Structure 1
């Protein structure tokens, strides 16, 4: 009876959600987004950043009503997968690629100028995700280098260093990260780092509770055992962790594509009602609401990822919330706004 009540409530709640597309003026594939409230000219404003293929970077200081395209010199061939903004002027952007194309840049003047803070040309180095819990503290995840995943971090907003890997579990054959939305790593609690994997015989969540001095790998029930399946996004709130993914080559398949943990990753469970297909991003909204997005639609959960309900069928790659508003970014320069609970 309780499950039926949840499903009925979730269905009614999902009906009230709708994406409203904004005009960006670009037609590239957007992969990452950031949203935060800040003061602009003495007024409270929503600052949005968006990043994507072909070196495209966008910024809005009015909640997406107007967008400005930014430029990083020498970056027109980069594939940006995530952006993290702070205040009105500061942002980090991460690109993915091999042979030096995985980079982290920072701006402190609203995107007028950018400084490359980190890159690496070692074989295997490929940045998948970026996460920050303040302007000074961020982490970024790379595919395995010399047999182990690599995490770099900054504690001052300026200098990036490779975190110790002595206790990092060895990567499985074929195992790596996915850079679908740059959100397969998350900072949780006090000093906790969690990231999801894919491509191996099992899908794992790797967790450090002491900022990389030790690491523990936990197998999950997410669909696995092929190079295109795994976790594509992970998020946390309190002791709850939710991860989504699936097989990006079969975007309509909803089988074993969303998992959740209520004990900070000790045990993992498949969602009882699945998302509508492969999902590349998941984000917490107000009142612990979760929204997941992918190439064939969006889903909402109001019970920590246990049940999902599809509410839209537009394609998106990334999702982000700030206060009561959510945004999503996707193909052909698409950005849309969602205000939870409004019809």
Structure 2
């Protein structure tokens, strides 16, 4: 009997190992203690990060050295929840806060100097996310509901200047509905003229709103019917905090190019609650299905790793990955050479970079997925 039990325990251990993956994180020196929530990997070794106390960081060598940027004028106490960059010299940072504490600044000289582009004109407003489209040419700015509608701006860049246009017709909000500014990813923009998705939460439940038609004359914003998404618990602190879509290279129709998507969230006041955390869609966001195996706690950011062909999501209590487009998640644990908490205390992703509180910045190496045959002891 002892030999049988031993064999069974070994088999169970081997089976369990197939569900484990090991995170390979390089923790980088940021030279700041600010809480970081904005991160944008431009490519070619260039990335920008942002956070509290007007903090903006920049790297040109893949994170080996992070430069501390000058603080934009009057921004010493602002919380820069989002940053989107065009190259090593040009970037826009967005602060989140009530009324005029929500602002946009831009730099064109590698963050030596900054210019205030826009201050929130809504005294009851609060900006949540600013995202560039997949080409990196233009962006959309999203705020919490004002007068029962989500305010939106379109920001275009041409060769010489930036143009800012406010949408006249925007999605109507439900009672108690809002977006979250936790990781600058409550918004996904494929193309500012066509595909834009907005993630929400709150006491009315969570939903994803998608733009399906663009009125070039009035900057209209029409949506297909948005059903509730099974994330969160109908409370002010819960809902969808991040969503992302994976490009389908075999699709040639513009409206189906980004059909596979993942949304994550939960309740940020209950970070260890592992219920109603993630959902996925296979039809561009028209319908959403709860993940069968959920991430193991509240998650504030999600992204698709094209090279490794997997989804990764992060939060205060850990990191999870999915290799089946969000249907099932499994924990990512530190390798033996990484700090014991390398998987924890993260806010936002722009792969391969991840940022968190107290100036935490990490760079993801190749994930080692332990593979053990289930029929071998």
Alignment TM-score, normalising by the size of structure 1: 0.89
How many angstroms does 1:89 deviate by? 1.4
SS in structure 2 at match of 1:92: strand
Task: Check if 1:213 corresponds to 2:221.
Answer: yes
SS in structure 1 at match of 2:101: coil
CA deviation profile, 1:140-193 (whole Å, cap 9, x unmatched): 110001111111111336121211326x2x312211110001110001367111
Distance in 1 between the 2:331 and 2:124 partners? 37
Report the equivalent of 2:167.
Answer: 163
Contact preservation (8 Å) 1:123, 1:145: no
Report the equivalent of 2:58.
Answer: 59
| Change over 3 Å in CA distance of 1:276–1:160 after alignment to 2 | same
Report the equivalent of 1:4.
Answer: none
Report the equivalent of 1:243.
Answer: 263
Distance in 1 between the 2:304 and 2:15 partners? 18
How many angstroms does 1:92 deviate by? 1.3
Task: Check if 1:328 corresponds to 2:354.
Answer: yes
Alignment TM-score, normalising by the size of structure 2: 0.81
Q: Which runs of 5+ in 1 are unaligned?
A: 1-7, 39-45
Task: Check if 1:101 corresponds to 2:101.
Answer: yes
Report the equivalent of 1:42.
Answer: none
Report the equivalent of 2:79.
Answer: 79
- The structure whose residues are more often strand, as a share, is 1
CA deviation profile, 1:179-235 (whole Å, cap 9, x unmatched): 001110001367111011111322111110224531233321112311000011111
Q: Which runs of 5+ in 2 are unaligned?
A: 1-13, 215-219, 247-257, 334-342, 370-377
| Change over 3 Å in CA distance of 1:103–1:13 after alignment to 2 | farther
Report the equivalent of 1:223.
Answer: 232
Report the equivalent of 1:136.
Answer: 137
How many angstroms does 1:135 deviate by? 4.1
| Change over 3 Å in CA distance of 1:11–1:98 after alignment to 2 | farther
Task: Name which of structure 1's ranges 48-57 and 218-227 shifts more when overlaid on structure 2.
Answer: 218-227
How many angstroms does 1:341 deviate by? 3.4
SS in structure 2 at match of 1:100: helix
Larger radius of gyration: 2
How many angstroms does 1:319 deviate by? 0.8
Distance in 2 between the 1:13 and 1:142 partners? 39
Task: Check if 1:186 corresponds to 2:174.
Answer: no
Distance in 1 between the 2:157 and 2:43 partners? 22
Report the equivalent of 1:32.
Answer: 38
Distance in 1 between the 2:142 and 2:67 partners? 29
Report the equivalent of 2:375.
Answer: none
SS in structure 1 at match of 2:222: coil
Report the equivalent of 1:177.
Answer: 179
Report the equivalent of 1:285.
Answer: 305
Contact preservation (8 Å) 1:117, 1:159: no
Distance in 2 between the 1:130 and 1:171 partners? 19
| Change over 3 Å in CA distance of 1:272–1:13 after alignment to 2 | closer
Report the equivalent of 1:121.
Answer: 121
| Change over 3 Å in CA distance of 1:327–1:12 after alignment to 2 | farther
CA deviation profile, 1:218-261 (whole Å, cap 9, x unmatched): 32111231100001111112211111000000001110111110
SS in structure 2 at match of 1:144: coil
